[in-house]
Structures are given as C-alpha cells and as structure tokens.
Structure 1
C-alpha cells in the first residue's frame, strides 16, 4: 500500500479540465452531457455551487492554483508571463513532507510559445529593461517548438514540486511534449493524423471555416485524453507498493477549443439536441462596450473567429461548439472513470482524496458569444469544484458558500496535516467539505490583465471584479464604464446597473468594498526582516 489508512497521510488525485463551465456537468444540472463517473464523485463528495477562479485566463489561474495566491501576488497576471521559480507551490510543500508527486497532461505554468506577454498599445512604450529581475532557473521549458525541434529536450525536475511529469502542450489534436513523442513512436507517420489540414471531411460544419473545430483522424486510443488517463493509471500503479503517500495532478487540455473529440465522441451529441443558453438572444440593458463591439463586428461580417479571443457567433456555430464540447467532456468523464477504477482495483480508493475542478469557464453561447477574454460573466469565472474525501471522512452534500481557486492549495495542505505557507491568500475548505461550518468570506476578488487591445478599446483591458453573494462589480482601468449586476434579481446578468441612478449608492458601497478587498490582497510574503 502507498501508506496505511491510520497514518493520516492520504493520497490525492487532482483532476483539472480546461475551459470548462460549471454547468456543463450532469451533477451541475446539464441534462444533455454524459458524465456518470464525475457525477458519481459528486454523489459521494461535496459539490461547490459558487466556486470561482482567481482569473478567467489559463496561466494566471493555474499559477493561483499552485501557489494559493492571486495573480497580483504571484506575478502571472496574463498568459505569456511565467510563474517565477521563486514561488513556493503547495506541491513543493507536499514533496518536502514526504509525498510522491506527479503531473500528467497540461501544466502551462511557463510559456508555451515565444510570443510576447503583451503588445504595447497607443501611448504604451515597451522599455528595454524590466523593474524585476528574473529569479534564477530554467524558463521556457514548455515552449512547444523546443520539444518539437529537439527530440532530447526534457524538463528540469522537480518542476514546481512535481518530481514526475508527462507533459502535453497545446490543444485539440495538435499537442506537443511527451504525448507527441509517444505518438510518433506508435506511428511513424503520426503527424498525418492531426490538425485541420489532415482532418476527416466535414463539409457541413460551420466552425470548420474558422478552424475552431475539425474531425480528427486520431483514434480514441491515441488521443491525448486517453493518453493522460493511461499515464496516470501507470504511475498510480507504480505507487501501490510504496510506503509514501502520493499526489498526482491529472490535467486535461480539453474541452478547450478547437473542438476535436475523437471517434464516437464526435457524434455523441448532435447540434440540434443542445439547448442554447437562455441569454443567447436576450435583450441586454446597457451592455458594456466589449459586448457591443463584438456584436457589431458580427453584424458587419467582421467577426474575428480564428483566434483565442471572444467573438459573436451564429446559432449554428454555437450549437456545434456545444455539441462537440459535450463530446470532449464525455471523453474526459470516461478517462476520469479509468483513473478511479485503477484506484479501486489497487485498493487505494478508500485512502485517496479526489478533487475535480477547471482552470476557467467559457462563454459558449452566453450573449451569443464564444471563447473568453476581457469579460467576467459567471460563465467565465464559475467552474466546477468537487471534493470526495477518503472513505472514513466523506460528507456528501452541496454548499453555496463562495470559494475560489486560491483555496485549493491551503485545503490540500490542511487535509495533509500541513500548515499553509505565509503569503497564501486562500483559506482551507475542509470545514465546508466536512459539513461542519460556513466560511466567513463575503466576497471574492477576480483579476485579469489582457494581452492585447481588443473590442476596439484604446488600451489592453485591465479589469478587477468584486463578487459578493448577491452582486458583481467589474471595474476596467481608465474607463468611465463598468458593470454592476444584481445576481439575485438578474441571474443571467442581462441588466447592467452601472449608470442606473437608483444604483449609484450601491455602486459606491461596492467600490469601497472592492478597494478594501484589493488592499487585503496585498502580499504578506516575505515577512519583514528582524532588523526592520
């Protein structure tokens, strides 16, 4: 056994999906998507109904997951900025305390391309020197071209605390890293099976023109999702005879766009069978300029649909995206089931904490839009979070308490019997997991920095959101507009009260709360020196 049940040192398996809305799981109310294995975890565990990200962008939120700190504290405020090796992750702490640690799948703690973090806009000068020196260590280890151009390239381990890493880099069927090397070992002509130029014909697919979806030639058994599950199962099997407890992060790059579920998962859900979001064609009151700009661009036939930024899509495009997204989620559900079955077969399930979450959400038809960026609707910030504890400590149920990605690190450490590091800003969720108490938290802070000018704005969007149990206030730097939404009376977030005369006292009150929350979010690490 990896450890004795009486030791109080459980194993952990952390499942992370990518760009996954909370309500796209059966246990969160979706009646179309097929997720029986994840739903089974929810039945045996604690489901969080109001769990949000620290930032609805991949790299910042993944760095927050690892550090228990907001982006403004750990420094990864946008994609394209690598997590400093000076940051202590909770996986570092588990490893130092005797846990075996592994990551299989997507990491994205360092850059995957060599593109700059941000493009200067008008009035923004890119100066030759940064005010902060790079912490010593190896960076750029996840840049996919390095892996593609040098078959011998490898990570320097341990990597942010992970002593074993099997990496995938990228999305859809075009991923790199260890998976691509493995694929080429299985098939010498493997590259002919991947990418939109080698895809199976889909002449009626509306998303094909923007390359946001294609029917991959990869069979299910060679797809990254299956590979991740199999490599996780292999590593867990190696730990079964060890005395040490283990932590493994099983990290899927799907259901992220472009949508390429393989084999039977492509046709599992038909576009005509998925309901559109209730806000798809709803009238919006005082919509913020980004939403108006996206809709106007689509009306003029100028929507930019081929990248990673939000765009207004047609009904057919959104139905296709939803159907294929559901296919990818069903494939992930099967993969989660393979990992859980391995734990059960090895007699480890009762001693293992299983956690399921995602790095951020997706618009997927919300307001007729797709993808993400520069907006803080709940479809982008709210993600699933399920905690199934060991057999003797399971307290099934649901909670509506506010919780956030930065809470994962202190929660895992608490369950491991370890104190959090000074400077971790999240709080342990164990009292909620065990059904013993409520949190004192009344609000959350969500941070985002854009990489480029979008929506016709004068500058890169830089926004902060205060999220309370009832309201959302979103402020954009140097802009006279923002968003104020009453989530109780307007759960679809259709009516922006920012300019409403009757809401001005409330806006002022929430603005003060936002300022106080940002002040509390200032980093407390390191401690002042003894001589200070």
Structure 2
C-alpha cells in the first residue's frame, strides 16, 4: 500500500510520462481493477476500512486519530486462527482505543493489547512517517538508529535528513515547504524511507521462513512532505507534468461544501503553478522510487523461490488532487482523490485465464480483506466483513461483484465545518457511484451529481439542475437501501439465526409461553423430534 498515490500516476493506468515497469509487471501477472474506490478519502478511516473490510459508518473510525474501537475484527483476527502470521512493516495510521482497553483491563504491552493497539498486526516495524519535532508524534527509534549507523548524528533524521534539503551554505531547507520540493533530500536514496522499509519487509520474509504469512508493506510516500532523494529529485521536469484538470466554471457557483474546501490553504497553494510544478517533480520522483523498490522486492521473492505461491495486492489509501478541481490534498470524492489503483496477483492456477486483465468492475478497499481470507482458505463471514472477495473476477467466473461503490467522509474536524457553520454531527458526506453517476449526499445541503459518461473529468455538478431530478431520486433510493443494511450484528451470522427455532428452543428449555395445555407442548416436541430425524438421515 502506498500513501496518497493517485490511480492515474502509473504507466499501466495511463500516465504518459511516468514509467513504472515493475508495477506494470504486476498488472501483467494479475488483474488491474481499474475502478476501485476507497471507503473514505483520507488516511485513517480509509485504512481502517482496508483492515476491517467494513464501511466507515460500521467501524466508527471516521477521521484521523479517531480510535478504532476495541472489538472490531481486523485482517489479523481473521487470519491468525488459520495459522497465518500477520505482520506490519510501515504505516497504519492506527489510533488505539486506550479508554476501551483500560475498561476491559487489556494491558497495552500484553500480547493481546499490542495486537489491539496495532490494528491486528504484529508490528514487525511500524513506521507511520510524520515525525516532526515535538511531542505529538512519536519517533521511530529503529530508523533513528539506522541513520546514526549511517553517520547521521541529527537528533531527528526523519525531519532534518530524509525530509529536508540543504543549500550551498549548509542551511537546512525543510521539505514541509513546497518551494523546496524540487531539491534533493539530504538522505541518500538507500537511506530514505521507501528503501528502508522495503529492506525491513525483506527481513521479515526471511525470518518468517516456512510459516504462512501475510505482510502489510505500507509505504509512507508519495504522501507529503513532498521531497525525494537524488537521483529521483529531478527526473521529471515540467515537460512531463500533466495540466491540472479544472475549469473556471467550477469556481463560479460551487456546492457550498466544495467551495469551502477550495478555500483551504493547501488548495490555494496548488493554484500557484510554480509551486504545483515543484510538487509534481517530487511526487513523480517518489513514485518512481517506489516502483524501483518494488522491482527490488520482486527480485528478492524470485531469489527466495516465493514468487509462484505468494498473492500480491498493490494499492493506495487514497489519491491526491495535485491542483485538480482547484484543490490540494484529498478529502472530497473526485476520482483524483477517492479512486485508487488496485492490482491483485493471484498465483493459483485458477487465475491463469485472467492474467493481464484490466477490469472495469467496481471494486472497493473493503474487498481486500475477504480476498486475502479466501486465498488462505478461510470461511466467508459476511455478517462481519462487508467487502466481497474478488476471486470470482480473478478466476473468470463473473465480471462484477457489486453494482455501486460507497465512500464516506466526516469533515467535522476540518476548518471547513466552522466556515460553513455546520454542527459536528451534520458534517458528513457520502458518495455513491454506480459506474456512471456519482451522487454525493451532503447533510444539510443539496446533493452533488456528476455524469462520468458525459463528463469524465467531473467538471460539471448537475446536483442543482432540475433536469436530473429523476436520476437523483433513483440514486437517493439506492443510498437509502445501503443505509438500511445490517452492519452491527457481528456476533452471529444470518445462517446461524436462520437455523434457530426460537419457539422450540424455549419449549425445550422449559420456557412455556402461550401454550394452552401440556398436550399442545407434547405435540410441538414430537413434531420437532420427527423433523430432526429427517434432517439427520439427509446429512
């Protein structure tokens, strides 16, 4: 998983200047799901959906640093009973439910406490990035030690070496500032975050040996700070940059929520073409570095003899506007933000017929968990996991597993909410996309609507046009159907409930409600015994 990688910044998804041969090779070996959407266009809640297989409104971690509540089942919880070691190298953006753990008496340093705190993963090495000076974000002591062994004596090498440049006079130029994005980071390529965490992933694979394993290799980049080591810092000049996808009409009378996001500092910064150009140079270089490191990893798997029996899933937690639609960052639902690359390489012979397929089936981030679970032979648990395994498409049995994709966003923590005068509970957006129409429900405001068939660049919001009322009503009905799903009854499956006979169970237990006499009870118990005999013979 990359962080903040757009769906269209790979050569296999159509970028004309950014060459990513190793990721392209994965697409040739597997299936590229070309229309994949995350369940929230921001790191924390998106990742919690990736790890639980559940929509944001089901797992409840609605924004960064909103804890994933104790008791939510994650990928590791599903795989460990199958004997699969499930580990992390890199980022999760997980915030532990400390209050819930304390209430249940779970010590944070106990075996169970660590797993609950780390989103169900064994933290082989957690590296979330984002280690600026100050107490809020913990440092990664392992990376600090690695850099010290390399000769860097800086107190915080993540900040001052890996994510800073240096001018001719020895002054440190912070990568946090966009004007420095086109300069080389002080760290050598092999010292920067992407190669470092790739090496740690390889360490884990060596250590795991013959034990079945599932590794979450989670890169920190191309997420900001936008800065990259040489030689990647100047590989992509302005002649390789795509023009921003935007129109003046979008700014003329925007939807109130969209308009408020346009006024964010980061959105205004990306309107500066010079600043945008510097960021694009770094952003593309960071992606190229990731591709090279994936080539290194694939060569390692070849050398270890693991290629032919390892499933590989390549994706991103969300995209990056990069100035498109007058926006910076992510958070809304244009494809630049909510659509991500997804490549699944299934090594089983059943997938041979679909190798190299570019599927236009709608897929969601929550489909990753059930796909991995099925690969390891685990039973489906649809009362817990809301995603759908992708094997029917991977194995050529169908060309679709769903009719709509859903994404949710809670903007209550953003300044946008205050600018709009919206209460915390109403600062909610939900996107429903059916493959053509993208409908966005905005609590307290009119909906947004885009027709991606007629308007693939999403430049015209039809939500206020009376000519599209029928389309909006149809999509509202689909949205209402989705909201009525049963998402919280996770302790018992539908199949278990369907197999129960509540009345008989009560009678057998001596709870006799509504029986007129003992003869009626005997009749019920006699019929039940006869039915049980028939069932036993059938089995």
Matches within 5 A, 1:107-118: 107-110=92-95
1:264 equivalenced with 2:222 (yes/no)? no
Separation of aligned partners in 2, 1:516 and 1:180: 50
Within the alignment, does 1:167 sit opposite 2:126 as a pair? yes
Q: Secondary structure at the match of 1:401?
A: strand
Query: Is 1:457 the equivalent of 2:454?
Result: no
Conservation of the 8 A alpha-carbon contact between 2:52 and 2:74:
yes
Question: Structure 2 residue aligned with 1:378, among 332, 335, 351?
Answer: 335
C-alpha distance in structure 1 between counterparts of 2:227 and 2:486, whole Å? 39
Residues in 2 aligned to 1:370 and 1:248: alpha-carbon distance in whole angstroms: 31
1:527 Cα offset (Å): 2.9
2:255 pairs, out of 279, 288, 291, with 288
Which structure exhibits the higher relative contact order, with contacts defined as CA atoms closer than 8 Å and separated by 6 or more residues? 1
Question: CA, structure 1 residues 499+283, in 2 after alignment: closer, same or farther (shift >3 Å)?
Answer: closer
2:361 to 401, 404, 413: 401
1:266 alignment partner, SS class: helix
2:87 equivalent to 1:102:
yes
Match of 2:19 in 1: 34
Checking the alignment, whether the CA contact within 8 Å between 1:20 and 1:256 is kept in structure 2 is: yes
CA contact (8 A) 1:411 1:430 kept: yes
Counterparts of 1:333 and 1:208, CA distance in 2: 23
User: Whose radius of gyration is greater, 1 or 2?
Assistant: 2
> Conserved in 2, the CA contact under 8 Å of 1:34 and 1:330?
yes
Alpha-carbon separation, structure 1, partners of 2:49 and 2:11: 27
The RMSD of aligned alpha carbons is: 3.2
Q: Which residue of 1 aligns with 2:462?
A: 497
- Give runs of aligned pairs for residues 324-403 of structure 1, distance below 5 A: 324-373=282-331, 375-390=332-347, 392=349, 393-394=351-352, 395-396=354-355, 397-403=357-363
Contact in 2 for aligned 1:285/1:496 (Cα 8 Å): no
In structure 2, relative to structure 1, the CA distance for the partners of 1:56 and 1:294 (3 Å cut) is closer
**1:513 aligned onto 2:478:** yes
Gapped regions of structure 1 (runs ≥ 5): 1-15, 115-129, 142-154, 298-302
278 and 164 in structure 1: CA distance in 2 versus 1, 3 angstrom threshold: closer
**Cα 1:86/1:111, change in 2 over 3 Å:** closer
1:156 Cα shift?
A: 2.6
Partners of 1:489 and 1:136 in 2: how far apart?
Answer: 56
- Determine helix, strand or coil for the equivalent of 1:85: coil
- Size of the aligned set, in residue pairs, is 474
Indicate which of 232, 235, 250 corresponds to 2:204: 235
Aligned match for 2:40, one of 41, 44, 55: 55
Displacement of 1:331:
0.7
- Normalising by structure 2, we get a TM-score of 0.80
Distance in 1, Cα, partners of 2:486 & 2:9: 31
Q: Deviations over 1:465-497 (max 9, x none)?
A: 111111011111122x33111111111111111
- Does the CA contact (< 8 Å) of 2:3 and 2:219 recur in 1? yes
8 Å contact kept, 1:357–1:385? yes
Instruction: Report the alpha carbon displacement of residue 190 of structure 1 after superposing the two structures with TM.
Output: 3.5
Range with greater deviation from structure 2 (177-186 or 346-355)? 177-186
1:472 alignment partner, one of 429, 438, 454: 438
The 1-side partners of 2:391 and 2:85 are apart by 22
Structure 1 residue 323 displacement after superposition: 1.8
Q: 1:399 deviation in Å?
A: 0.8
C-alpha distance after superposition, 1:9-34 (max 9, x if no partner): xxxxxxx0001110011110012223
> Could you say which residue in structure 2 is the equivalent of 1:524?
489
Report the equivalent of 1:195: 159
Secondary structure in 2 matching 1:379? helix
Shift of 1:170: 2.5
Question: What secondary structure does 1:337 align onto?
Answer: helix
**Partner residue in 2 for 1:444:** 405
Distance 1:351 1:262 in 2: 34
- Distance (whole Å) between structure 1 residues aligned to residue 218 and residue 377 of structure 2: 24
- Asked whether the 8 Å contact 1:285–1:495 carries over to 2, the reply is no
Distance 2:328 2:175 in 1: 12
Report the counterpart of residue 73 of structure 1 in structure 2.
58
Q: Does 1:179 align with 2:138?
A: no
DSSP-derived class of the 2:22 partner = helix
Tell me how far 1:188 sits from its aligned partner.
5.4
CA contact (8 A) 2:32 2:343 kept: yes
DSSP-derived class of the 1:386 partner: strand
Specify which of 72, 77, 94 is matched with residue 92 of structure 1.
Answer: 77
Using the alignment, how far apart are the partners of 1:86 and 1:524 within structure 2? 12
In 2: Cα distance, 1:484 partner to 1:133 partner: 45
Q: Against the structure 1 CA distance between its residues 314 and 280, is the aligned structure 2 distance closer, same or farther, given a 3 Å change threshold?
A: farther
CA change 1:345–1:525 in 2 (3 A) is same
Q: C-alpha distance in 2, partners of 1:473/1:215?
A: 42
SS of 2:28 mapped into structure 1: helix
Which residue number in structure 1 is paired with residue 194 of structure 2? 225
CA distance in 1, matches of 2:244, 2:3: 20
Q: Secondary structure at the match of 2:47?
A: helix
Deviation at 1:209, TM superposition (A): 4.7
Structure 1 residue 462, shift from structure 2 partner: 1.3
Whether the 8 Å CA contact 2:260–2:416 is kept in 1: the answer is no
Which structure has more helix as a fraction of its residues?
Answer: 2
Q: Deviations over 1:139-162 (max 9, x none)?
A: 7x9xxxxxxxxxxxxx93584433
